[in-house]
Structure 1
């Protein structure tokens, strides 16, 4: 085992960032690497809890090729980590020195030499730490390649006075061109302008700018996408290498069941799989809004009655934290939900690959987008914040594999609108056909001879040199 390279993987502490980096970790393990997966203490506790509930103390197993460890993010237990601006300031002040100490301790106490740090771009400071201790580094971008092109070129947008130093548009400009490779970009798709609090958006913009300030020092920028999915974006940033779609392994034995669940912040309710087995093919609406989206009572009520109105079976993921932290909502008393099943968290990739699924009512996070596209499932798009608005436009206007919802005069997506769009997307044979074509392209990229596999193999060769 002495020749097995050890890679340290550093995700941003959010479910949508941990998931693809855990999938990447499994890929690296398959190709003969050991992984040290470094969460914040807060995320680590969340990841380990479902594993302990399954009686699988995965993080303590020294024989596991993925070792889960953690370092503090600098915030106390009373702090609200939903305030990403505050979290990022604390991360920058606390985690770099803690990471450096962790790497030294791993070598000193366990004799393990980390040969490379793969850092989420949102944890780009990790590569500064790697350089300081003489270790190679690589960036990982967990979102669409187009969004990386936008982020990486924001210093130029500031220099050209399209943006000010906070990332805000400087004039009445509604759209701009990043390059001749890309279609015009609408100001509204800039992810940092779509945060729930504009101040948090400005802080995050500056944080990611800082994370990318030394990006040219590393040769490796990896991305969970494919050439076929975003050809123009990869032409614009040729250094960015697609290694997607990054999906979990799909086997039924115990080891891979654990592997598939590793990294989840909530315990997956597997009873939904046997429920899906009992539904007719292509009949079920899968409704899931990721790890952050919250609805107020009025919108939740419209959604519940909208699902009932469709008269279709539905699988609705309502997170366990949905009714906590001041977000007091409940299902309306008159809601029967006889045709549906509601779970706290689902094994999403298995759900989306199930033949009973007809369409995905989604927040359009990039992981959900990739997973649904890979399974040929059409979308009903309901973005909440950040890059989800760009992803929605890409799904509806570029790939044309889904529809968006329209709000009424009160800013609500009504039950009638939900029923109407469900009927429309399920009737539309063109959407079904295009979804199937995109699926075929992405499935091709899972094979060993695909461009994504070749890119990953180039990276692995470099790792092992």
Structure 2
């Protein structure tokens, strides 16, 4: 009797930060929806896994999300990172680089063990999918004869910049120009870019003493890893053809498949944080397009001066606002928490919210954002104009896409100390929510891109076709 082929089984691996876990888990669910016979094992570090499943008592470390809508096809297995608590913020500038060294070594060993254990259980992995800070995952897969694919969770433009930088164009970003943010760099297939808008890991982290030097090295290793794939590396990108046609064409060396925006397929409020939804009731009582939503992501810190200026600017704008001030930020400003909350007249502050639900609410008319790629995509998909306040990593390039390419927002200017002043908050909010022709254009373009993204991710759309092509290719290798 002919032996039955195993089911397609995707092992999805991701770095333990929330901004990586969310898009990776969304892709995992999309793969399950695209291939009803497929299995997915989702894996991040033990510490992050424990935060996702704080009350999960399984002795073997496996987990299932509360809704259980995957009928056992989605399994969660953590891998070690060589620490007990994961990365803990530290004043030591070498702490993060030390963590990354541990993460790479222990992670590779742990994932190899997971692949072997799944095969022993009769659930062999047939395709490894990994996010951008795990170049070693491709090596683990290659050693076991399993094809792999990179899931790039930043824009295609940033991937193209990294690709060309590490393929002979680093000389265009030389040391003497790094102190001149206006110096223009030209890379193949891309629009000219000022150095100040390139990913910060190329401009700030090449020095071994930099706190994030390990990320520079990891991205270099990732680009080299892709070059080793034969015949060509597969790169899934969390964007769509319509949003970034030029950037996608600028990397012809690999099979680059835009499969996004990969948005939530269901309620994600159980990941990391569960909270009441009083803020949704507050939004329900507000007029359409009247509320300013403010969030600077899951990692950014905020000094007291910046918080004071932000809240003052929001109050002076005269518009209702919903502002996310994370618990760790408020803890750092513990002596001021009561005072801060007491100053809220026109708005409300929350420690966390379901951002996709908020952005989808009719009352929200503007998003003041750090321009993390997840936030940008969620805003574009919801048709909400943005005020961009980028800080690091890919955020400056993301802001360029929002302002120059898609014309759905404005970039706020910080002062020489990096503080976004109250007057600038008010100016920018008015520029996208006011009665001017520019504000009307931003809203019109936001509506246009919302429709385009919906088409790309809908049945028969460009991203949906690319995802199905990837699933089919994975099935053909089983």
- Determine if contact 1:284/1:315 at 8 Å carries over to the other structure: yes
Give CA-to-partner distance per residue, 1:173-206, whole Å, 9 cap, x none: 9222111x21112222232046699713432111
- Determine if contact 2:178/2:203 at 8 Å carries over to the other structure: no
Q: Give the direction of change, closer, same or farther, for the CA distance of 1:78–1:154 in structure 2 (3 Å limit).
A: closer
* Structure 2 match to 1:94: 106
* Structure 2 match to 1:206: 217
* Structure 1 match to 2:60: none
The structure 1 residue matched to 2:28, chosen from 25, 30, 33, is: 25
- Determine if contact 2:135/2:218 at 8 Å carries over to the other structure: no
* Structure 1 match to 2:171: 161
* Structure 2 match to 1:451: 462
* Structure 2 match to 1:253: none
- Residues 1:13 and 2:16 are matched in the alignment: yes
* Structure 2 match to 1:384: 391
- Residues 1:107 and 2:119 are matched in the alignment: yes
| Equivalent position SS for 1:113 | coil
* Structure 2 match to 1:252: none
Q: Distance in 2 between matches of 1:59 and 1:19?
A: 13
Q: Shift in Å at residue 372 of structure 1?
A: 0.3
The structure 2 residue matched to 1:49, chosen from 31, 49, 54, is: 54
Q: Shift in Å at residue 156 of structure 1?
A: 2.2
Superposition TM-score, scaled by structure 2 size: 0.86
Q: Give the direction of change, closer, same or farther, for the CA distance of 1:163–1:286 in structure 2 (3 Å limit).
A: same
* Structure 1 match to 2:74: 66
- Determine if contact 1:50/1:267 at 8 Å carries over to the other structure: no
| Equivalent position SS for 2:41 | strand
Structure 1 runs not aligned, ≥5 long: 250-255
- Residues 1:137 and 2:159 are matched in the alignment: no
The structure 1 residue matched to 2:128, chosen from 117, 132, 139, is: 117
Q: Distance in 2 between matches of 1:187 and 1:356?
A: 37
Q: Shift in Å at residue 398 of structure 1?
A: 2.2
Greater CA deviation, 87-96 or 2-11? 2-11
Q: Distance in 1 between matches of 2:275 and 2:117?
A: 34
Superposition TM-score, scaled by structure 1 size: 0.88
| Equivalent position SS for 2:210 | helix
Greater CA deviation, 268-277 or 227-236? 268-277
* Structure 2 match to 1:319: 326
Give CA-to-partner distance per residue, 1:116-159, whole Å, 9 cap, x none: 1001122121011011112111111000101001112222245x
| Equivalent position SS for 1:70 | coil
- How many residues are matched? 446
Q: Distance in 1 between matches of 2:220 and 2:297?
A: 26
- Determine if contact 1:194/1:386 at 8 Å carries over to the other structure: no
- Determine if contact 2:314/2:321 at 8 Å carries over to the other structure: yes
Q: Shift in Å at residue 331 of structure 1?
A: 4.3
* Structure 2 match to 1:369: 376
- CA RMSD of the aligned region, Å? 2.7
Q: Distance in 1 between matches of 2:465 and 2:113?
A: 34
- Determine if contact 2:47/2:86 at 8 Å carries over to the other structure: no
Q: Shift in Å at residue 25 of structure 1?
A: 0.6
Equivalent residues in 2 for 1:125-274, closer than 5 Å:
125-157=136-168, 161-163=171-173, 174-179=183-188, 181-191=189-199, 192-193=201-202, 199-216=210-227, 217=229, 218-238=232-252, 239-249=255-265, 256-257=266-267, 260-261=268-269, 264-274=271-281
Q: Shift in Å at residue 318 of structure 1?
A: 1.6
- Determine if contact 1:286/1:361 at 8 Å carries over to the other structure: yes
The structure 1 residue matched to 2:355, chosen from 323, 348, 351, is: 348
| Equivalent position SS for 1:445 | helix
Give CA-to-partner distance per residue, 1:306-350, whole Å, 9 cap, x none: 2222222211112222234x5657447274323322222111111
- Residues 1:418 and 2:425 are matched in the alignment: yes
Q: Distance in 2 between matches of 1:393 and 1:322?
A: 28
Q: Distance in 2 between matches of 1:17 and 1:127?
A: 17
Equivalent residues in 2 for 1:295-306, closer than 5 Å:
295-306=302-313
| Equivalent position SS for 1:287 | strand
Q: Distance in 1 between matches of 2:147 and 2:258?
A: 20
* Structure 1 match to 2:405: 398
Q: Distance in 2 between matches of 1:409 and 1:207?
A: 31
